[in-house]
Amino acid sequence: MIDKKTGGPAFPCKFGVKDNGMTLRDYFAAKAMAGICGHRDTWGFPSSQAISKQAYDIADSMLEARDKLPPTNAKPVPRSASWASALRP
């Protein structure tokens, strides 16, 4: 199930696990935070609270943009296939 606010689980499991761990929103925020902290001056954010807020603002924007994307016709890649063969038409 996809929750509009959190994006649902970042790494869903279909094997009866009740807690799927971090949400997609948390995952996006963690990636954004890594990018901010990877810059030598943290893009000018003065505190960890400001960095955290910005990371979640970016995550929320990513979820919003994701909802606006048209549906994809992508086919799931079989586990036995390599990523390169999945790119071939």
- Kindly list the domain boundaries of the chain, sorted by start residue: 24-87
Interior angle at CA 16, CA 10 and CA 20, nearest 5: 20
Q: Give the model's pLDDT for residue 1.
A: 47
B/e letters for 59-75, b = 16+ CB within 10 Å, e = fewer, are beebbeeeeeeeeeeee
Contact criterion met (CB below 8 Å) for 25 and 7: yes
Q: How much is the pTM?
A: 0.62
Interior angle at CA 19, CA 61 and CA 48, nearest 5: 45
> Percent of the chain, pLDDT > 70?
65
- pLDDT, tens digit (0-9, with 9 covering 90-100), for 38-58: 888 888 888 999 999 999 999
